[in-house]
Amino acid sequence: MLKHRGFPGRLTGTDFQFTIRRANPKGVTPLTRRDRFRDRRPADRRADTAFMQALWAHFGDQPFERGNLDAGRLNWLFEREVIPAEDPFDPASYDALLVIDVTAARASFPDVIDGAT
């Protein structure tokens, strides 16, 4: 499992986790799309924004390996702002390649992706 050095481990001052420390010995948690409803708590929305900001700052529009990125946090963006970068895609692999869909990310997080090409 690739560890993304320099990537924030969590949202400062909260328990919202962005990375994991080690691979799960029982198996990889698969990525699945989770619905974001309008009535989500403001703290959850801040966590989504901070995670997207960290992804954008770290990877930009280039494909990246899932590695030690937290599946729970990725699932909130998966198949919307973060999409598979390979076909076939294995959602239960730490080696899976992902990429930010700049158009979708700009629509959902305009303050984060503002000025992206």
- 51 vs 38, residue with greater confidence: 51
pLDDT in tens, 62-98: 999 999 999 999 999 999 999 999 999 999 999 999 9
Q: What is the pLDDT of residue 117?
A: 47
What's the predicted TM-score (pTM) here? 0.88
Residue 18 has pLDDT above 70, yes or no: yes
Residue 22 has pLDDT above 90, yes or no: no
Q: How many CB atoms lie within 10 A of CB 20?
A: 19
Work out the mean pLDDT of the chain and round it to a whole number: 89
Q: What is the pLDDT of residue 88?
A: 93
The CA distances from residue 17 to 7, 22, 24, in Å, are 11, 13, 15
d(CA 85, CA 95): 11
Residue 1 has pLDDT above 90, yes or no: no
Return the H-helix or E-strand segment holding 105: helix 102-108
3-state secondary structure of 65: strand
